[in-house]
Amino acid sequence: MKIDLRKLAKGQDCQLRIPGVCNHNPETTVLAHLRMAGAGGAGSKPRNLIGIHCCSACHDILDGRTDAYGKLWRHDERPLDILHGLIRTLDVVSRSIDL
């Protein structure tokens, strides 16, 4: 059985939850792909399993689309926040598909 993880993300709570950034609005949640550790590359997205359920505000910060990236999310906090968000997302996914 194939699960569309991008569709599953819609309507979910944000799992990245960047303090002072997250809008906590499930209506804006999408699957935000993580381009790190060699996953994905120039012009290609990583597989859908390598992603976090993110609200629009956290997604903009994660993808570097806003100048607030360095101001609101300290560099030393990012890796652990991303790991926590990925674990929380995998937990939601595993419960949704009854793993």
The letter for the amino acid at 49 is L
Q: Please tell me the predicted confidence (pLDDT) of residue 25.
A: 98
Q: Model confidence at 79, in pLDDT bands (50, 70, 90)?
A: confident
* Residue 40 within a domain: no
**Would you say 30 and 89 are in contact if contact means Cβ atoms under 8 Å apart?**
no
**Is 33 one of the catalytic residues?**
yes
**13 CB burial (10 A radius; 0-12, 13-18, 19+):** middle
- Residues 90, 63, 81, 54: is their CA dihedral positive or negative? negative
- Of 33, 53, 75, 84, the catalytic one is 33
Tell me the H-state helices in 28-77. 56-62, 69-72
Using pLDDT thresholds of 50, 70 and 90, give the confidence band for residue 99. Answer: low
For residue 62, what is the domain's CATH number?
A: 3.30.50.20
41: in domain: no
Q: Which tens digits make up the pLDDT trace of 57-69?
A: 999 988 888 866 5
> Which residue segment(s) compose the domain that 78 sits in?
5-34+46-96
39 pLDDT exceeds 70? no
30 φ, ψ (degrees, to nearest 5): -135, 170
